[in-house]
Amino acid sequence: MTTSSKSLGAWLEDFEQEAFRLETLDDYSKSGGVEAYEAFLAGEPQPESYRTAGWITTVENAVRSGKRIYRVHVLARPLTDYLRFELSWGYRRNMAVGEEFYILDTTVQENPIAEAPDFWMFDERNVGAMRYTQDGRYSGSEFLGSDQLPAYLTFRDKAMEHAVPFTEWWAKYGE
């Protein structure tokens, strides 16, 4: 059931205060930045198109206007090649313009939100559930009804309760 006439992209441009993202997959390699991922795997420098991607402008504009964009990634070590790429190139790139990242590492602790899907939440009132194929290809999003909002607020709160700031986690486990 879609409760928003806006697309996910429109919400990312138009939210009022905060946008939260929960990432639960180990591989989003077919969902964007494919050229950069291939360069990473080949040991090449970051492509210019990756360093200046539209997402950087979206985040920078939002943060500059006083909005918050933050996410928690649920993961376990050892990291997949894709996670090594996402954390070392993507997160560090996005942090430079103000996006906040947290890691919920389930290597030695149980996942407190194992049933949670990937999603975006905007202003604590609109939830877009994300869908992906088995090989990490984004296949769409669905905005959920307000009756489902309490469960997603709980997912976010539990994720934040058990996560640590990315920079702290990276200092211990990063490359």
* Domain extents in the chain: 8-121+128-173
List, for residues 73-98, the tens digit of each pLDDT value: 999 999 999 999 999 999 999 999 99
Average pLDDT (30-35) is 88
**CA angle, 118 then 86 then 143, to 5°:** 20
Residue in the block written with tokens 């993507």: 90
- Phi then psi for residue 172, to 5 deg, are -85, -45
The fraction of the chain above a pLDDT of 90, given in percent, is 83
CB 149 within 8 A of CB 127: yes
In this prediction, residue 172 carries a pLDDT of 96
Angle at the Cα of 85 from the Cα atoms of 153 and 127, rounded to 5 degrees: 20
User: Given a cut of 90, is residue 60 above it in pLDDT?
Assistant: yes
pLDDT in tens, 110-149: 999 999 999 999 999 999 999 998 888 899 999 999 999 9
pLDDT at residue 175 in the model? 74
Domain 8-121+128-173 has CATH 3.30.870: yes
Q: Answer whether residue 104 shows pLDDT above 80.
A: yes
Nearest Cα to Cα of residue 136 among 86, 70, 71: 86
User: Given pLDDT bands bounded at 50, 70 and 90, which one contains residue 3?
Assistant: very low
Residues 6+ apart with CB under 8 A from 151: none
